[in-house]
Structure 1
């Protein structure tokens, strides 16, 4: 779990109110970037706060349903109010507004499930999907955070992150989600080099064992990667040849979304 700087080290010009707000925000961010449940001691140790301070913060957040207590462990997890806030943020996302009609058309062109992902702290989330109309199809879980190193939607984002951010991800523990997940940092780094050249990432059962997918990155007005578009389906149907056939339509879809967000088009220069 990555450490989060506390306000005490941020400077001396912040007043007590600002410091208290920062502590509350840091507690919430631990749940966004760490385990699903956390105890008072773990939070206090991670943020360098006393247990009494942490307990007061947790009690206030629990009163507002921003966190809740996990019954068996008596540890804390994000509450229903945070889910509502997250759902509203996803619904109102400019990326989602620009991307939804494009991935709807991409589904029509490819016949497979199409998805739109956004980069978030600690990984990425699916903003929306259009499911294939075929009987056997792939579906994804919207709003759940997934790591960047596994699966085409995450890898294509990771490939276009600034080098220092890529290095941070590659230096972390790379979880093996399936037997096909690449967890060797050097091997993954070589894949990312190829992705930056081709502009697309492919996955053959890396995040879900029976899924095949191909994805392209989406960029904002400054050419900064902010998300990805993917075409996904059962591995038995979305094999290498099928993924290759989907690439032109996929790249056109990602380019259309990026241009609607202000990007000039094409791939940014290698960083």
Structure 2
């Protein structure tokens, strides 16, 4: 009589984790394909704006078909719009990094943001850290240093700088959200953030009068997949947060740099050295430990 319930429990847990896996897979695929878009002749600003414009249309359709999210207060709305301005820096910085360094190096450098968020959260009194968490943080920095300095050629430091800048913007968004928007609907926050960031990127394109799309059909196809893939990833992230919470979702998201590195080899021919792989593995393992121990 009890056998069905025993076998159903693991299946239920797996189903709860599935949206997080989909999110990591969609983001990883988009990371790799964005390099194809840039190689085909598109510029970073065009890719960033196009991704946001398609995302707005798809998110609006998704919200229209599902339950309408809880509206924001005027204060929360303006904070979310401000976050959108910062989010424009996240998107632009990450794509700019991919344009200058191998995608695995760019995404692993960007993924230092969970550690930066935790350490700055401690500095501002938003979090506490144990000695195990501090040790994990040091190991994560050591892994990142090994990964970057193990490059056999002269690495494009501008690309790493863009990735770090993107990570700093992501850190600011997480800390501001945690401090001011804890009681606000995350779907509504994301909507205002994406709309505001796309408006900023569109304004930048108008001011610079810069629109340089892909020069090949494959580039256009890749740009559309990037736009749809990141939006699907965001939708699945909403579902994951509701099913397993933000903490476990963040842990599952550490699969994104792993999947990105794996996909980069067959699709882009970007293979990192064994020492870089070791540094990246040490960094990711330490970041997971940091999330668990802080």
Do the two structures share a fold, i.e. TM-score over 0.5?
no
* Structure (1 or 2) with the greater helix fraction: 2
Whose radius of gyration is greater, 1 or 2?
A: 1
Q: Structure 2 length normalisation: TM-score?
A: 0.27
Q: Structure 1 length normalisation: TM-score?
A: 0.29
* Structure (1 or 2) with the greater strand fraction: 1
